């Protein structure tokens, strides 16, 4: 049986695995581009599956393409302790977002094998499909189906910009599994992740004990005016969709500032039609992202957006369609699981602080069906969703050590 002193992961092996996985979809600036259900995503899944089989795990894949690597326990009739994250990235993503949580889980399995530790409950490491939402909107769709937030037809029917659906692409890359999605008991779920923000590094803390996650609302807005020649059309007679979009951008920014200091409000995508230099734009598609840890504030931001868009459209003479495509309420993580994270940090003497996640994670949906908590580690300059995203090896090791302790506590170390 492993002693308290040697119950820790192999930090160098974890780092080496992260760097090897980062070669799949590597970009010139040192980041990664592995969009969901592309050939590169398949390569990353295949490598993960092979590593897990080498570590003695069995593999199951569900109908949303979620992959579950299972290390048996002493009593395999008991609900498993699960950990994991995602392997897909942003178009200009980094080497740690998502993949760290997956490979930290694999390293827990490998280290338990090395240490000869048998747990009462089985342990599962999950890879969730399409967490980022970059290719198929919305984000976290497959963990959402697992948690019952979306139905299977909705999940498989999500289409990319070329009209290819998740169901079709899962079939194409060989990850359209046969297992039912969700509907089974999970004893506890943990997700390890880089913070994706500047707080931990700025305060010199190694571990973020995640107590809550901000609620989110995502919108898609189409403004429609009239395309017209840029020369002969008088300013007063224009119905300029891009002018309306510019005012909506200002509205969104002001809504975030009006709900400071913790609100976040972003226009992240815009498509202008016809996008010609001497044509007044007749149509603009754009996205809006609102975040706040209080649901009542999110509702006020929603009302401000709707009222403001109606006013702007009326002033310019535009038609508009506004659809909220993604919403979840703020999440309060399970007290017992959070305590396991806190105790893990204390056991290693790591500096730590409680923190609220500003980003969405699969753990936010898992919290609906299982006791859940998250472990954060710093990232350099707080930068993420960027090719220069980086973290120090000692932070990566620390987070996985805390994860190991939390999982062993919940899974039952029986030696």
**Cα separation of 290 and 308, whole Å?**
15
Inform me whether the pLDDT recorded for 51 exceeds 70. yes
Q: Are 79 and 207 part of one and the same domain?
A: yes
pLDDT at site 5: 59
> Model pTM?
0.86
Q: Are 105 and 176 part of one and the same domain?
A: yes
Alpha helices in 215-262 (DSSP H): 241-258
Residue 394 has a CB neighbour count (10 Å cut-off) of: 13
Residue 3 domain-assigned (yes or no):
no
Q: Are 335 and 203 part of one and the same domain?
A: yes
What's the whole-number mean pLDDT along residues 384-390?
A: 96
pLDDT at site 140: 95
Q: Which residues have CB under 8 Å from 46's CB, separation 6+?
A: none
Q: Are 314 and 338 part of one and the same domain?
A: no
Half-sphere exposure of 359 (CA within 13 A, CB side): 22
Work out the percent of the chain whose per-residue pLDDT is above 90: 95
Is residue 62 exposed (0-12), middle (13-18) or buried (19+ Cβ within 10 Å)? buried
Inform me whether the pLDDT recorded for 354 exceeds 70. yes
Residue 81 domain-assigned (yes or no):
yes
Inform me whether the pLDDT recorded for 3 exceeds 70. no
Residue 170 has which token pair? 């899962």
Residue 308 domain-assigned (yes or no):
yes
pLDDT at site 1: 41
Q: What is the CATH number of the domain that holds 270?
A: 3.30.70.360
**Cα separation of 67 and 86, whole Å?**
10
Work out the percent of the chain whose per-residue pLDDT is above 70: 98
Q: Which domain holds residue 305?
A: 215-328
Q: What is the pLDDT of residues 314-341, one digit of tens each?
A: 999 999 999 999 888 899 999 999 999 9
Angle at 402 between CA 396 and CA 404, to 5 degrees: 100
**Cα separation of 254 and 288, whole Å?**
13
Do residues 162 and 174 lie in contact, with contact meaning Cβ atoms separated by under 8 Å? Answer: no
Q: Are 160 and 228 part of one and the same domain?
A: no
Q: Are 180 and 233 part of one and the same domain?
A: no
Is residue 397 exposed (0-12), middle (13-18) or buried (19+ Cβ within 10 Å)? buried
Q: Which residues have CB under 8 Å from 43's CB, separation 6+?
A: 24, 25
Q: What is the pLDDT of residues 132-171, one digit of tens each?
A: 999 999 899 999 999 999 999 999 999 999 999 999 999 9
Q: Are 209 and 229 part of one and the same domain?
A: no
């Amino acid at each position: 049986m492993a002693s308290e002193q040697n119950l820790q992961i192999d930090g160098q092996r974890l780092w080496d695995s992260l760097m090897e996985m980062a070669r799949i979809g590597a970009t010139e600036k040192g980041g990664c581009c592995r969009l969901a259900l592309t050939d590169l995503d398949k390569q990353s899944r295949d490598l993960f599956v092979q590593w897990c089989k080498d570590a003695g795990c069995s593999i199951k894949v569900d109908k949303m393409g979620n992959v579950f690597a299972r290390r048996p326990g002493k009593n395999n009739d008991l609900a498993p302790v699960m950990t994991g994250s995602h392997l897909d990235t942003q178009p200009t993503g980094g080497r740690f977002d998502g993949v760290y949580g997956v490979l930290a889980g694999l390293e827990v399995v490998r280290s338990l094998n090395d240490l000869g530790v048998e747990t009462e409950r089985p342990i599962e490491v999950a890879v969730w499909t399409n967490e980022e939402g970059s290719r198929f909107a919305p984000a976290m769709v497959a963990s959402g189906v697992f948690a019952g937030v979306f139905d299977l037809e909705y999940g498989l029917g999500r289409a990319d910009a070329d009209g290819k659906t998740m169901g079709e692409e899962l079939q194409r890359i060989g990850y359209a599994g046969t297992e039912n999605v969700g509907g089974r008991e999970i004893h506890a779920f943990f997700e390890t992740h880089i913070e994706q923000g500047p707080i931990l590094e700025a305060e010199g803390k190694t571990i973020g004990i995640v107590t809550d996650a901000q609620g989110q609302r995502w919108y898609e807005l189409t403004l429609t005016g009239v395309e017209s020649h840029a020369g002969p059309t008088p300013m007063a007679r224009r119905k300029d969709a891009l002018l309306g979009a510019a005012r909506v951008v200002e509205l969104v920014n002001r809504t975030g500032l009006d709900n400071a200091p913790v609100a976040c409000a972003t226009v992240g995508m815009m498509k202008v039609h016809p996008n010609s230099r001497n044509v007044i734009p007749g149509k603009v598609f754009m996205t809006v992202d609102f975040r706040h840890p209080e649901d009542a504030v999110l509702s006020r931001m929603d009302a401000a957006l709707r009222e403001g868009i109606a006013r702007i459209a009326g002033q310019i003479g535009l038609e508009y369609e506004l659809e909220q495509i993604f919403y979840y309420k703020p999440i309060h993580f399970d007290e017992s699981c959070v305590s396991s994270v806190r105790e893990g940090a204390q056991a290693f003497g790591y500096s730590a602080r409680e923190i609220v996640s500003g980003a969405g994670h699969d753990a936010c949906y898992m919290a609906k069906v299982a006791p859940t908590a998250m472990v954060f580690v710093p990232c350099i300059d707080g930068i993420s969703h960027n090719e220069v995203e980086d973290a120090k090896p000692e932070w990566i090791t620390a987070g996985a050590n805390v994860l190991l302790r939390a999982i062993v506590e919940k899974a039952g170390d029986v030696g």
